[in-house]
Amino acid sequence: MNCPRISRLTAPNVMALFITFLLFLVSANAFAASQSRAYSLNQRPAADVAAQIRDLYEEVNVTVVGQKIVARGETRLLDEIGQIIQQLDVATAQLRISVQSRENLGGKHSGGGVNLTQNNTSSNRNIINSNTVTINAQSKTIRSSGNRERSLIVQDGQSAQVSAGQIRSLPFAARGGRNPAVLLQLVETRSGFVVTPRMISPQNIELSIMSFEQDAPAMPGYDTEALMTIRQVQPGQWVSLGGVDRSESHENSGIVYQVNSSENRTSEIRVRVDILP
């Protein structure tokens, strides 16, 4: 008669069974600790807020169902996500971007000359010669200035393009975070500025300024087409985007005259962001 064969448990087999049992317990506890919650949004698109939540909590499974965000994860993380969604689900702020172009022109023209006039007169067979020397000198100073301002209303996070003193909104929200290459592919022009304001609080605005150079000087080892600057400013504060300062001087002279002229031209572009009520 054949008896059933009983295999003996060796030390390696016991260790493998013990590890398997521990893994089962850990998985069961993790499954029991994780749960799903749904958050309803009233002001912001659920897809936009969900994208921000995914960036912050990679270990949480986030899905979108209409205007609801469904998240599955640990209870502690779900509590934090609920607080963040409550802060993010607010009406998008409207911002007014103002661009001011200022130009100042100053110049001075000066000159002088010598004029010799000869007069001949006759009286009783006598001829009288007289010479008159006239010295002319003049100086003229020219000063002029002009300001031109344009404004545009955009949504919080929307970009505006500034070029040649003009401003226009871009038909997309700036994406890609702080990566200038994304805007570089979407903006046709290669000169001017792209300004993107983001409201941090009623007292602070994050202002991203991207400058494009059409003929940027080549540097060995670098391929630069745009430069980005990020600043925190207060609403209503003017921020300089850049300016140009040019000076020219000319001199003309001859035997009996000399003319000097100098001209100084400065131009500056500034931007300001205001929060609309």
> Per residue, what are the HEC states of 30-73?
HHHHEEEEEEECCCCCHHHHHHHHHHHCCCCEEEEECCEEEEEE
Assign 235 a pLDDT band (cuts: 50, 70, 90).
Answer: very high
Kindly report the backbone phi and psi dihedral angles of residue 20, in degrees, each rounded to the nearest multiple of 5, phi listed first: -60, -40
Q: b or e along 181-196 (b: 16 or more beta carbons within 10 Å of the residue's beta carbon)?
A: eebeeebeeeebbbbb
pLDDT mean over 135-141: 68
CATH architecture of the domain with residue range 11-88: 2-Layer Sandwich (3.30)
Examine the pLDDT at 135 and tell me if it is beyond 70.
Answer: no
Q: Say how far apart CA 79 and CA 204 lie, in whole Å.
A: 28
The two structure tokens encoding residue 120: 């001949």
pLDDT mean over 116-144: 62
Give the model's pLDDT for residue 175.
44
**Residue among 6, 78, 8, 98 nearest 38 (CA):** 78
Sign of CA dihedral 230, 232, 235, 236: negative
Q: Which of 8-17, 158-167, 177-186 has the lowest mean pLDDT?
A: 177-186
pLDDT mean over 214-220: 49
Examine the pLDDT at 270 and tell me if it is beyond 80.
Answer: yes
Give the model's pLDDT for residue 69.
93
In DSSP notation, 200-233 reads EETTEEEEEEEEE-TTPPPBTTB--SEEEEEEEE
DSSP state of 85: H
Examine the pLDDT at 168 and tell me if it is beyond 70.
Answer: yes
Q: What is the pLDDT of residues 9-44, one digit of tens each?
A: 555 665 666 667 666 665 555 554 678 899 999 888
Across the chain, mean pLDDT equals 73
Give the model's pLDDT for residue 230.
86
How far, in Å, are 59, 97, 164, 211, 229 from residue 196 at the CA level? 30, 9, 18, 12, 11
Q: Say how far apart CA 181 and CA 187 lie, in whole Å.
A: 10
Kindly report the backbone phi and psi dihedral angles of residue 25, in degrees, each rounded to the nearest multiple of 5, phi listed first: -65, -40
pLDDT mean over 232-242: 88
Within 10 angstroms of residue 85's Cβ, the number of other Cβ atoms is: 20
Examine the pLDDT at 273 and tell me if it is beyond 90.
Answer: yes
The two structure tokens encoding residue 241: 């985007």
**Residue among 156, 223, 229, 145 nearest 194 (CA):** 229
C-alpha dihedral (96, 170, 90, 271), degrees to nearest 10 = -30
pLDDT mean over 115-130: 58
Q: Say how far apart CA 166 and CA 237 lie, in whole Å.
A: 19
Give the model's pLDDT for residue 161.
83
Assign 59 a pLDDT band (cuts: 50, 70, 90).
Answer: confident
Give the model's pLDDT for residue 172.
52
Q: Give the domain ranges of the chain.
A: 11-88, 94-105+144-275, 112-138
Q: What percent of the chain has pLDDT over 70?
A: 59
- Verdict on whether the full-model pTM lies above 0.85: no
Give the model's pLDDT for residue 198.
86
Examine the pLDDT at 102 and tell me if it is beyond 70.
Answer: yes
**Residue among 277, 207, 269, 217 nearest 240 (CA):** 269
DSSP state of 254: -
